[in-house]
Structure formats: structure tokens, C-alpha cells
Amino acid sequence: MRRIITVILIFCLLLVFPTATNAKPPSKTIEIDIPEYVVTRSEGWDYVDIPGGDILLIVGKPRVPYYSLKVMYPKGYRVQGVVLINKSKLVTASGLNLTIVKSTSVGTEEKKGIEDRNGWYPSKDFEWSIWVNPDGSTFLIIKIFPFHYNPETMEARFYSHYKFKIIYTFTKLSITYLSTDKIIYEPGEKVYVNILLNNSGKPIDTVIGALIKKYGSYEIVESLPLRTLHGLFGEASVTIVFNTSSLPTGDYCIEVTINDTEGHWLDKKTYS
């Protein structure tokens, strides 16, 4: 008997984080003082940590600490950009012997040795991302890299004060519903993704994008063609159709994003 191979698409809401409402517009600047780092020496190696922070584990790079900041934005406020205005309160150090991160069969760990001597690391000051909650609020997550290390000279630089400019917009458009016609699909079957939108503000031209990602790793495996809706106002429904023939057997999630025609994101939902 021929064995039937299925492609599974499981769609569910993301985890819900506690949120709060705020009638005042959010601040357009954020300032933060980062706790002083501490150094622990063991067997000739230095381990640098920031209280309340985390460790940047990039294979082949020095083990350095970073610090994360999470800010909640009420429903409708969408962060479009984060700009570093300044960093200050510099502290320098020398003679630090940091380990290099390596990958093993059981995970990621520090390696006893220096393999990367390409100047200051990390090369960037920060990165940011957005977490969208089902109620329409969002979290802005800024990952700050205040500690920079040069393995060639064994020197370090640490900035403890950062000030950011936050660029955001406000929208009354939201994705109110996202579903598929089935749970399990055979290879080659068409998937119908049903989207309900609501815009209680002024009519607006929008662009709908959808990404198919591997469940767990969230690696993008397919980008679906963009759809444009002109003069969107009130409630609207959209159906996106794609074929599973190009997808290997496995579990997937779908991410749907609504942008305006200037590229500003208005809402986003992910089901996995």
C-alpha cells in the first residue's frame, strides 16, 4: 500500500504576556543605566558578566555579556525604528583573557582558546526586535552590547549609560482573525489562509505579506506574493492560497504582516 506523506501546518496563538494600557503617547526617548560588570577568573581565563544580563554565545567569537531592555507599547503604537543618540560613562580594562565560544554535540559552550582575532567585538552597539501580543500591544526588546572586547590586545571597553530615540507610528488597523481551512495537508495540496482585518481609522492602502517558516527554528522557507488592498476601511477579509508541493514533510508556521505603502508595519500575527 502506498504510504501517504503529510505536511503538517499547526497554527496557534503565541504566548500571551501581561500588558497595560496608557492614555498618554509613549516617550520618544529611552535612557538606561547598565549595572557594572563583574569579572570571575578561573584557570587562567576571565569570565565577564553583567548582573541581570545575559551572555552572547556566537560560535567562534569571544564570550561577552549583553543587557536587554523590554518596553511595552499599548495597542496601536508600532515601533518603526530605534536610533542610538549617545552612549557614555566609559570604563576601560586591559589584560582580560576571554574564552571563545564553540559548538559541541550537546550544545554551545566556551572554548579554551583564542581563535578569533578580528578586532573589537561585538562590532555593533545594539539590536532591536518586536514581540506582538494577541491583544494588539507590543514589546520593544532592545539588546544592548555595552561590553566590547579586542582579543588581539586583550583590552575591553564598557559603556554603562545609553540613550535611544524611538520612532513609532499609530494605527487603528489590526488583524482580528487568522486561520487555515485544514490542520493537516498532503504534499501538493493547496492551503487557504483566511485573514480578517479591521480598520476603524481613515481609509488606507495596505500591503499584505506572508512568510512560511519552519516550526521551532522559524527559518523562512517560502515568501508568498504580496497582496495590495486599496482604501481599506472597516472590516475586510482576505484569503491567501499557496501550494505545499515545494515544502518537505514537516511542521510549519505562517507569519502575516500588514504594512502601509510606505513600508511601515501596522500589524503582525504568527501561528505555529
* Per-residue pLDDT at 118: 67
Name the E strands within the chain.
7-9, 29-33, 38-42, 45-49, 54-56, 64-73, 77-93, 100-104, 107-111, 126-132, 138-144, 147-150, 155-170, 173-180, 184-185, 190-214, 220-223, 227-243, 251-260, 265-271
Give the mean model confidence (pLDDT) for residues 219-248: 93
Same domain membership, residue 160 and residue 175: no
Same domain membership, residue 224 and residue 182: yes
pLDDT digits (tens, 9 = 90+) for 84-106: 999 999 999 999 999 998 874 44
Same domain membership, residue 69 and residue 182: no
On whether residue 1 sits in a domain, the answer given is: no
Range of the domain at 180: 171-271
* Per-residue pLDDT at 155: 97
pLDDT digits (tens, 9 = 90+) for 9-49: 433 333 333 334 446 899 999 999 999 999 999 999 999 99
CATH number (domain holding residue 251): 2.60.40.10
Same domain membership, residue 40 and residue 140: yes
Lowest model confidence (mean pLDDT) among 49-58, 90-99, 182-191, 257-266: 182-191
Domain count, the chain: 2
Q: Which of 169, 189, 206 is the last residue of a domain?
A: 169
Same domain membership, residue 195 and residue 140: no
Same domain membership, residue 95 and residue 67: yes
* Per-residue pLDDT at 134: 85
Q: Which of 113, 140, 169 is the last residue of a domain?
A: 169
